Amino acid sequence: MKKIIMLLTVLGALSGCMSPRIETSSTTFQGEGHAQRDTISVMPIDKTQEGSLEFKTVSDYLLGKFAEKGYIPSKNKDTKFVAFVTYGMDNGKTSMSSVPLFGQTGGGTSYSSGTVSSGTRTGSYSGTTTTMPTYGMIGAMSYDVTTYKRVVNIDIFRKNANQEPTKVYEIKGVSTGSCGNINSVLFSIIDGIFQNFPGENGKTKTVIVPWTGSC
């Protein structure tokens, strides 16, 4: 039987949870006065998350990112800017893919034997033949892969005295991959968003960020 040689790098492609990085596409729309910086707080769009330890962790991480961009982070709701945040993922889409299998396609060592007769006399013979082995694709292995769309939305409002708040930023980060745990990839998606913040108004930018989580 021919020895099958499978490229080890292919095995990593079968599981997105083995990937050390995440690709994120983010788009930022800018409103009037978006370049201003002052105090900022983070609030969930989904009010059921307010006060949860999960959202507190997300909020703390976002406040650190805002501080890197010149804002003054605050856990007090009485701030000049408020960032409303929501995040989630779909149910996944399953498709079939395949990877090539490589092995020996020819050559190598072969053994032969037999008998030969001449009149009343018989004899036997045996021997080996060696030729240069050749290698190539000998088949393919199919597998199912499920990918999930993970999305983070951030809307930043500026409070105005005696007037309605004004939206100054509308941000969307999207990542697609085989990890179906939004909390596992959330911080990496946020990192990707802030690599492109504030960015060009309405222009989508794709970046690759490290990921040390697990599914």
pLDDT in tens, 107-118: 767 666 666 666
Domains of the chain: 16-96+143-210 (3.30.160.670)
Burial of 192 (0-12, 13-18, 19+ CB in 10 A): buried
Cα 40 from Cα 66, distance rounded (Å) = 8
pLDDT at 3 over 50: no
pLDDT at 36 over 80: yes
pLDDT in tens, 46-74: 888 888 999 999 999 999 999 999 999 99
Q: Which residues pair with 160 in a beta bridge?
A: 163
pTM for the model stands at: 0.70
Sequence letter at residue 180: G
Cα 210 from Cα 22, distance rounded (Å) = 6
Sequence letter at residue 122: T
Asked if 135 contacts 164 with a C-beta cutoff of 8 angstroms, the reply is: no
pLDDT in tens, 135-146: 777 777 776 678
Closest CA to 42 of 154, 166, 150, 152: 154
Q: Tokens standing for 182?
A: 């939004």
Asked if 83 contacts 156 with a C-beta cutoff of 8 angstroms, the reply is: yes
Cα 162 from Cα 194, distance rounded (Å) = 31
Burial of 32 (0-12, 13-18, 19+ CB in 10 A): exposed
- In the chain, % of residues over pLDDT 90: 48
- What's the Rg (C-alpha) of the chain? 30
DSSP at 209: E
